[in-house]
Amino acid sequence: MARLIWAVTEDLTQDDFLGGKIAIWQPRKGYRAGVDPVILAASVAAKPKQSILELGCGVGVASLCLAARVPDLEITGVEVQADYAKLARRNGQENALPFDVITADLRDLPTGLRQRRFDHVIMNPPYFDRDAGTASDDSGKDIALGGDTPLQDWLAVGAKRVGPRGYMALIQRMERLPDVLRALEGRLGAIVVRPISGRGGRAPELFLLQARQEGRTPFRMAPALIMHKGDSHAGDQESYRPDVGRALRSGAELPIWP
């Protein structure tokens, strides 16, 4: 795998998230975090003093959005790409938010991490099946969107790190829901899925999923999360629905079950 190396001038941008509550350094080119990790973070019902593990944390957007909303969390991130992990550490430090970032392949976690379990495990796995697509010329983008770690490995590793009565939360493309459910069978229960649609009347493209260790509640499908008002985009003005806007602009919680 090619290693990304930033130029001396650092080919980065610093972008505001949560209406400026946090500022995130990320590559100017290649994979850039957008709305999805913010929505994931907003769906996590974490409480102060709880422990969080994010697998594939990238530059840290989801973890730091969660830390900005819920105080006194103990957050650990795992990222295989050393340069993204370096940026995640920098982002945690410059935003004065607790964030311990470990550079590692999630299939080969350090011994100390394999011996820990967490209140919440969160992840935004690559959306596309590497075997069904073409690799990107940018190695960082390729790993983020496709990668070489099968989705079932993400879920198996994540499930093992969920502590007693703890939760897993993830965001993923809708067509991969059957794969996710198969991978979680026999590992976690009390599964809740919330489809995400761009606008009302449109088929969902993404979904949020929450599952619980030792959960016994039957599978539930929550009402869809509709991102935008109206049937179509009108001009350049923002069209997020109020609950989505509050999550994106002020860091409000956006429960998986509304």
For each of the domains in the chain, give its residue range(s) and CATH number, in order of start.
35-227+241-250 (3.40.50.150)
**Range with lowest mean pLDDT among 94-108, 117-131, 165-179:** 117-131
User: Model confidence at 134, in pLDDT bands (50, 70, 90)?
Assistant: low
Give the pLDDT band (50/70/90) at residue 238.
confident
Q: How confident is the model at residue 145, as a pLDDT?
A: 45
Q: Angle at the Cα of 144 (from 142 to 146), degrees rounded to 5? A: 60
Q: Please determine, for residue 118, whether its predicted confidence score (pLDDT) is greater than 80.
A: yes
pLDDT band at 132 (very low <50, low <70, confident <90, very high): low
Task: Supply the angle between the helices 61-69 and 82-94 in degrees, to the nearest 10.
Answer: 20
**156 phi, psi to nearest 5 deg:** -65, -45
Q: What pLDDT score does 131 carry?
A: 53
Average pLDDT for 144-164: 87
The bridge status of strand 206-212 relative to strand 189-197 is antiparallel
Side chain identity at 114, as an amino acid letter? R
Among all chains, which residue has been given the structure tokens 């809708």? 174
- Mean pLDDT within 79-96: 97
Which ranges constitute the DSSP H helices of 44-150?
Answer: 61-69, 82-94, 111-114, 139-145
Average pLDDT over residues 6-13: 64
pLDDT, average across residues 77-88: 96
User: 131-134 — which CB contacts under 8 Å span 24+ positions?
Assistant: none
Interatomic CA distance for residues 100 and 191, integer angstroms: 28
pLDDT of residue 31: 87
Residue 30's pLDDT is 84
Rg (CA), the chain: 17
In this prediction, residue 8 has a pLDDT band, given cuts at 50, 70 and 90, of very low
The dihedral region occupied by 229, where left means phi > 0, alpha psi between -120 and 50, and beta the remainder, is beta
Band of pLDDT at residue 128, cut at 50, 70 and 90: confident
In the predicted model, what is the mean pLDDT of residues 157-168?
A: 98
Q: Tell me the mean pLDDT in the region 58-74.
A: 98
The DSSP secondary structure of 181-244, one letter per residue, reads HHHHTTT-EEEEEEEEESSTTSPP-EEEEEEETT--SPPEEPPPEE-BSSSS--TTS--B-HHH
- The share of the chain scoring above pLDDT 70, in percent, equals 86
Structure confidence at residue 133 as a pLDDT band (50, 70, 90) = very low
- Cβ contact 56:78 at 8 Å: yes
pLDDT for the residue 235: 57
pLDDT in the model for residue 213: 97
Mean pLDDT for 183-198 is: 97
Per-residue confidence (pLDDT) for residue 18, from 0 to 100: 97
pLDDT above 70: residue 89: yes
Residue 96 is given by DSSP the state T
Q: Which residue has the higher pLDDT, 258 or 126?
A: 126
Q: If you average pLDDT over every residue of the chain, what do you get?
A: 90
**pLDDT(2) > 90:** no
Residue 112: pLDDT band with limits 50, 70, 90? very high
